[in-house]
Amino acid sequence: MDKKFLALGLSVFICLSGLIGCASVDTNKEDVTQQVEQSVGESLKLDFIQTNRHDDSINKFSMIYDTKPKNSLAVTNAMIEMMLSLGLEDRMAGTSYAENNVLNSLKPAYEKVPVMSKTYPSKEQIVANGVDFIICWGGDFNEKGVGSIDWLNENNIKAYIPRSVESNATIDSIYEDFNNLGKIFNVEDKSQEINDKIKSKLNEVTSKISNVDKKVKVMGYDSATKGAVVIGSGINNEIIKLAQGKNVFDDIDKAYPEVTWEEVVNRNPDVMIVLEYSLETGGQTFEQKVKELKENPALQNVNAIKNNRFIKLELVELYPGERVPLTVEKLAKEFYPEKF
């Protein structure tokens, strides 16, 4: 699974209420409401707005969680690591699109969870494994992915899309996700523990760079098309900001916008973060991308090119969760080595 799903927008808000479990879907064309009878009790309701990355169409749906999931499916490392951070490996039916580079501290738990599929599991696999909860990117909830929201409702499967993958996500969005999952799985003490851990580590790092006089101008480089696919808004931008970098494309309300080479020259970054991912399926290495950037005649007067300032990041290092403080520290050391 590569970064393409990061561009999906979504919005989440929470309200607690005593309700009979139900789920509803609201698309551009029609409103569909489905009710599933469950035990009455305190419920967590989450409303999502899902934006299609191809045509910007909007799909709205709601989920009410009033039964603790027993057999979850997590898609991609970002979601897998969130679940494992909360100690939920015994409530996971499996993973999909899992990469080998799971956070070291979570590997023992990860090894206890079956790989349901290397890509998307079929609907038959999902049903056969008794899946009752799926956490993944918004773009995975369709017929080509893990199934549409309508199909999930028909099979009594709950969906969750992290708030922290929205285009305007901040560090608080990560805390919100752990709080939500803590309520859904009844592990609120653990979710608070994880949030406190992230906050403590971030404070430790950011306190060393709080008095930076002039912020380094940064461009996050993903790939080349006719122009450059770069880091725009969202949690990626937040990580750069926490490391006291100034993302030169932070004004674009999209996680991975495409910009012209002329615009790269105009914004003249001091350093380029170069993302590496999907090497097993033909993705370019860090070295290959840097070579192309250096050989691009349009970029010869860009500061980062002239001064050979490139930082290698694996895509997973930008995923929301426990990784964030580690990535902030890594970038901060590259931006301001004299502070460490």
Name the residue ranges covered by the structural domains of the chain: 3-169, 216-339
Return the pLDDT at 339.
94
User: Considering Cα of 111, then 114, then 118, then 120, what sign does the dihedral take?
Assistant: negative
Inter-residue contact 205 to 328 (CB < 8 Å) = yes
CATH number 3.40.50.1980 given to 216-339? yes
pLDDT exceeds cutoff 60 at 3:
no
Q: What is the mean pLDDT of residues 109-132?
A: 97
CA–CA separation, 109 vs 89, rounded Å? 6
Percent of the chain with pLDDT over 90: 78
pLDDT exceeds cutoff 60 at 8:
no
Question: What tens digit of pLDDT does each residue of 237-250 get?
Answer: 999 999 999 999 99
In this structure, of 58-62, 173-177, 232-236, the range with the lowest mean pLDDT score is: 58-62
Contacts 24+ apart (CB under 8 A), 293-301: 293/221, 296/261, 298/261, 298/262, 298/264, 298/265, 299/261, 299/264, 299/265, 301/265
Cβ contacts of residue 9 below 8 Å, gap of 6+?
49, 50, 51, 138, 166, 167
- Mean pLDDT taken over the chain: 88
Return the pLDDT at 272.
98
Cβ contacts of residue 319 below 8 Å, gap of 6+?
76, 77, 78, 81
Instruction: Write the secondary structure of the chain as one string of H (helix), E (strand) and C (coil).
Output: CCHHHHHCECCEEEEEEEECCEEEEEECCCEEEEECCCCCEEEEEEEEEEECCCCCCEEEEEEEECCCCCCEEEEHHHHHHHHHHCCCHHHEEEEECCCCCCCHHHHHHHCCCCEEECCCCCHHHHHHCCCCEEECCHHHCCCCCCCCHHHHHHCCCEEECCHHHCCCCCHHHHHHHHHHHHHHCCCHHHHHHHHHHHHHHHHHHHCCCCCCCCCEEEEEEEEECCCEEECCCCHHHHHHHHCCEEECCCCCCCCCCEECHHHHHHHCCCEEEEEECCHHHCCCCHHHHHHHHHHCHHHCCCHHHHCCCEEEEEHHHHCCCCHHHHHHHHHHHHHCHHHC
Q: How confident is the model at residue 50 (pLDDT cuts 50, 70, 90)?
A: confident
Same-fold call for 3-169 versus 216-339? yes
pLDDT exceeds cutoff 50 at 15:
no
Question: What tens digit of pLDDT does each residue of 258-317 get?
Answer: 999 999 999 999 999 999 998 888 899 999 999 999 999 999 999 999 999 999 999 999
pLDDT exceeds cutoff 90 at 40:
no
pLDDT exceeds cutoff 90 at 190:
yes
Task: Give the global pTM.
Answer: 0.85
pLDDT exceeds cutoff 80 at 210:
yes
CA–CA separation, 94 vs 223, rounded Å? 31
Return the pLDDT at 39.
36
CA–CA separation, 330 vs 317, rounded Å? 10
What's at 10, amino acid-wise? L
pLDDT exceeds cutoff 60 at 235:
yes
Q: Which two tokens stand for residue 59?
A: 């799909």
Q: What is the Cα 124 distance to its own chain's centre?
A: 27
pLDDT exceeds cutoff 60 at 182:
yes
Return the pLDDT at 159.
97
Return the pLDDT at 52.
64
CA–CA separation, 43 vs 63, rounded Å? 10
CATH number given to 3-169: 3.40.50.1980
Return the pLDDT at 55.
62
For the ranges 101-105, 110-114, 280-284, the maximum mean pLDDT occurs at 110-114
Return the pLDDT at 26.
41
